Structure 1
Amino acid sequence: MSKRSFGEISTISSDSRYNSVLKHAENLLKAAQSLKQDLERLGKHGDSPSHEKILSTLKYHNVNILPAAQTLSQDETGGLSETLDNPHKVQKVDHNQKPSDSRPQSGLPIPHSALLTKWTPQDIPKPDALPPLPPVLDPVLEKGARTHAGVASGLSEMNYERLEWIGDAYLYLASTSFIYHTFPNLPAGRCSQLRERLVKNETLSTFTVRYGIDQRARLPEEFRPEGRQSQNRGGTSASKRERAKILGDLLEAHTAAAILGDAGGLERVIIWIKSLWATVLEREIRNEYKKPLPPVYSNPANGMERVDNPNTIPPTPNTMFPKIALSQMIGAKGVTISYRDEGKQKVDKNSGQPWFTVGVYYDGLGETDLNLGYGSGQSKKDAGAAAATKAMENKKLIKRLQKLKEGVNAMLSKS
C-alpha cells in the first residue's frame, strides 16, 4: 500500500469535481481551525502574546493554509482539470513559499543535549505508575497519528505512516543517548541489546495498550482483539506479531505528533520517554549506581599494589581491561591463563538475551588446570572480564601465584 500523507491529491474524473472541491475546502477549514486553536491558546496565558509568538504561529500554519487556499483558487478559476492532470502545479505558490505535507520548513526540531542526560534512580517512577502521556496539540496530527492507512478516507487524509517513521528516529536517538551516558563502561554490543529492549515492538505495543492509545485508533478490523467478523466463518485476526507491529507503530506515531504539534512538544516527549523507559531498565539503572568504584593499582608490573582511595591516582588502561590486569599480576614464562565456557548457554530472564558463564584457569609452575574464578555476562567477552575480576579479588590465591612469578623472574635474571 502506498504512503498517504496530508496534502496529497488523487486523480479523479471530471464528473466528481464537486467532491474534489469539497475535499479542498475541508483541508482549508482544518488548517484554519488549527491556526485558530493555537492563537486562542496563546491568549490564555494572561498577558497578550508577543508579536514574535503570533508571527511564529502564523508562519507555522501558513505552510498548510496557503497551499489549500491556492488549490481552491484554481478550482474557482476552472483550473481543476489541469491541476488534477498535473498535481505539481498545485504546489506552486507565487511568493516562493513551498508547501510541505504538514510541517514547517525550518526542519525537524533537534533535542538539546541538556535533555539527553543519563538516567538516575530518581527517574524511575513508582511501581505500576506511568508518566503522563504527552498530548498532541495539533488536531490534524492527533487524528493522523491514530489513523491506519487502510481506513483513511481517500489519499488526502493523513495516516500515521510518515509520523511513525519520524517517531522511530527520535526514539532511537533518545535511547542511544540515555544508554551512552548512563552506562559509560558498557561494550557497544551490550548497549545495542539494551536499546533493542527499549524500542522493540513488544515493548512499545505494551505501552500503547496501557495508555489506551489502541482504543482510540482507527484500525482495520483484523487488528482489533475481536478480529474481523464474517457471516460464514469466525473472526479473522492478524497474528500476534503483526498486531504488535501495528501497536508499536501507533506509539511511535504519537511520539512524532506530540513533538511536531507545538513548540514545547519535543521537551515534553523527551522527559516522558526517559521516565517511561526507566521502568524497562530499572534493574540495570539501579545496579549501575550500586557498583563500587573499580580498584586502581599503583604499579601493575610489580604486584599491582591496590590503592584504597581510587581517586588518589588516575586509572591506568589496565584497570579497564581485567584480563590484561590479571595477566600482568600473575603471568610469567611457562604460565598459561585460559578462558573456557562453563555449562550450557542460558537466557537472561529479564531481557531474554543470551547469558554466558566463563571460567579462568591457570597452568604452569607446578599448577595444572587451577581455577581462578568464574564470571557471567550477556557476551563471552563480558563473562571473561567478570571472571578475571573475580580472580583478582581472591587476594590469597593471587599472592601465592605472584610469589611463583617472582621466583621465576629471579631465576631468569641470574641466568
Structure 2
Amino acid sequence: MREILIRNTTLAGFFRQYDMPSRARLPADFGQSRALGRGRSSDKDLLKTQGDMFEAFVAAVIVSDPRNGLSRAVSWLKALWGRTIKEQIVENERLSAKTQPPGVKAAYVAPGDSDLNAKDKLRATIGAKGIAIRYEDMPGDNKDRDLGLPLYTVGVYLDGWGETNKLLGRGTALKKKEAGHKAAAAALENKKLIRAYEAKKQAFHEAAKAADEAAEQLLR
C-alpha cells in the first residue's frame, strides 16, 4: 500500500492534476507537455522529475508556514491519497476477515480462497499437461481517471478441453501483472464455465488412469 502512495506514477499524477507542468521551468526539449505513452524509457525520466517536483512543492507548503504548514500538508495529502487507494481500501475491508498468507497481495487473491492467488488457482483448477492458459495484452487506450496514466488490459485465454483461443476473462490495471491477476479472478468468477472445464479435466484423468491400469494388466 505504501508503495502505491509514494511511487513516481502517483506523485506525477498529482503534479499534473494541479496543472503544475504549465508552471514548471524545464528545458524546452524535456517534453513535459507531451502525453505519456506505454513502454517509452523517457517516460520514466519524466515521471521521476514530476514526482520529485511534487515532493518539493509539498516540502515548500510545510516550511512556508512553520506553525500550520505540516498539518495542512498532512490533511491535503490524506485527501489525495484517499482517492488514490479507495479501491484497495474497499478490497481490504472485504477481505478483512481472511488471513492472508505471506507474499500474496489481497487484490490478487482468488475468489473464495485465502491461500492461492488468482493465476495459481485458475491453473490448479483447469490446467493439465497439454492445456495452455495464456495471458495476452488486449487493445485499448483507457487511462486511469485519477492519475491520467495508461491502463493495461490483459485477457486470459484457454487452448485445450475442446477450446482454441477461448477468452476466459479480462482485467485492467496500471500494471500488466496486476491486470493478469484480475483477468484470472474474472475467469474464476464464471463458475458455470469453470465447472465445465473441471469436469473435462476429471474425465481426462480418470481415462488416463484407466488406460494405465489396463496397460499394467497386459504387462503381467
1:369 maps onto 2:165 in alignment: yes
- Secondary structure of 2:146's counterpart equals coil
Q: Which runs of 4+ in 1 moved over 4 A?
A: 188-191, 200-206, 243-251
How far apart in 2 are the matches of 1:295 and 1:393? Answer: 20
Match of 1:383 in 2: 179
1:377–1:246 Cα change, 3 Å: closer
- Indicate conservation of the 8 Å contact 1:205/1:247, yes or no: no
Instruction: Find 2:62's aligned residue among 248, 255, 258.
Output: 255
Instruction: Find 1:241's aligned residue among 20, 24, 27.
Output: 24
1:377–1:295 Cα change, 3 Å: farther
- Indicate conservation of the 8 Å contact 2:84/2:146, yes or no: no
Instruction: Find 1:395's aligned residue among 186, 191, 202.
Output: 191
- Indicate conservation of the 8 Å contact 1:204/1:248, yes or no: no
1:249–1:362 Cα change, 3 Å: closer
Which segments of 5 or more consecutive residues in structure 2 lack a partner in the other structure? Answer: 27-49, 99-110, 213-220
Percent identity between the two aligned chains? 27
How far apart in 2 are the matches of 1:323 and 1:246? Answer: 38
How far apart in 2 are the matches of 1:196 and 1:329? Answer: 39
- Indicate conservation of the 8 Å contact 1:329/1:402, yes or no: yes
1:172-230 deviation digits (Å, cap 9, x = unpaired): xxxxxxx42xxxxxxx57862554247x6446776xxxxxxxxxxxxxxxxxxxxxxxx
How far apart in 1 are the matches of 2:81 and 2:174? Answer: 15
Match of 1:275 in 2: 75
How far apart in 2 are the matches of 1:324 and 1:189? Answer: 24
Bigger relative contact order, structure 1 or 2, given CA contacts below 8 A and separation 6+? 2
1:393–1:294 Cα change, 3 Å: farther
Q: Report the residue type matching 1:278 in the other structure.
A: K
1:411–1:281 Cα change, 3 Å: same
1:358 maps onto 2:158 in alignment: no
Match of 2:133 in 1: 337
Which segments of 5 or more consecutive residues in structure 1 lack a partner in the other structure? Answer: 1-178, 181-187, 207-238, 297-305
Q: How many residues align?
A: 172
- Indicate conservation of the 8 Å contact 1:190/1:378, yes or no: no
Match of 1:293 in 2: 95
1:295–1:405 Cα change, 3 Å: farther
- Secondary structure of 1:274's counterpart equals helix
How far apart in 2 are the matches of 1:338 and 1:295? Answer: 32
1:394–1:357 Cα change, 3 Å: same
Q: Report the residue type matching 2:205 in the other structure.
A: N
| Bigger Rg, which one | 1
1:395–1:363 Cα change, 3 Å: same
Match of 2:7 in 1: 192
1:240–1:294 Cα change, 3 Å: same
Match of 1:347 in 2: 143
1:403–1:295 Cα change, 3 Å: farther
RMSD: 3.6
- Indicate conservation of the 8 Å contact 1:204/1:247, yes or no: no
- Secondary structure of 1:242's counterpart equals coil
Q: 1:275 Cα shift?
A: 2.2
Q: 1:295 Cα shift?
A: 10
How far apart in 2 are the matches of 1:190 and 1:361? Answer: 32
Q: Report the residue type matching 1:242 in the other structure.
A: R
